[in-house]
Amino acid sequence: MPESEHGVVADATDLETAAMDGARALARAIAESATFRAFEEARDTLMTDVELTRCLRGYQRCRQEFETARSWGGGDPREGEALEAEWRALAEAPAVREYLRTQDDLVVLLREVAALISQEIGMDYASACAPAGGCCG
């Protein structure tokens, strides 16, 4: 029965489209919250500071290289200490402090959203969305 089969397929697609619309509406509700707007403002402020973002990128690159080396049993502990000191200095910049503060608030809200989805669906949202092969690759 190709006709009814087609009907079922169309219905499934509609339902999936409705789910994606639901995702979009959820994202909009998050975007409209003062928590997100504060984060967005802090993110924009940080991004306009060219020198600071350059330092942060440099730090992140070094941190990542160090973590990779450490996961393979390498990584000089002195380098780890130097990175910690660099981070402390960076985190003192008001733009970074504000970014981290607003990010913390946002993460609390987003985690609550994800926990609710995980609980109701019976699957862990974050793991399901992790890149294939796990996040440790």
Partner 1 sequence: MTTGEEKSAVLAQTQKFIGALKATPAGQALVRALERTQGDPEVQRLHENLQRAVDAFQRAQRAGTVSEEQIQAIREAQAEYQRHPTVGELFGAQMKMTSLLRSANFVISDLLALDFGQTVRSAGGCC
Residue 19 exposure: Cα atoms within 13 Å on the Cβ side? 7
Residue 91 binding partner 1, by CB under 8 A: no
Q: How far is CA 116 from the centre of its chain?
A: 17
Of 29, 82, 85, 89, the one binding partner 1 (CB under 8 A) is 29
Residue from 2, 5, 92, 129 in contact with partner 1 (CB under 8 A): 129
The tokens of 37 are what? 């707007």
Minimum distance from residue 137 beta carbon to partner 1 (Å): 11
Q: Is 33 in the site for partner 1 (CB under 8 A)?
A: yes
List the Cα angle 50/54/58 in 5-degree steps. 170
Provide the 10 A C-beta neighbour count for residue 102: 20
Q: In this chain, which of 30, 55, 83, 95 binds partner 1, going by CB under 8 A?
A: 30
Element (H, E) at 107: helix 94-121
Cβ nearer to partner 1, comparing 51 with 120: 120
Residues 39-58 that bind partner 1 (CB under 8 A): none
CB 124 within 8 A of CB 68: no
Looking at 2, 4, 15, 77, which residue binds partner 1 (CB under 8 A)? 15
Contact positions toward partner 1, by CB under 8 A? 12, 15-16, 18-36, 105-114, 116-117, 120-123, 125-130, 134-136
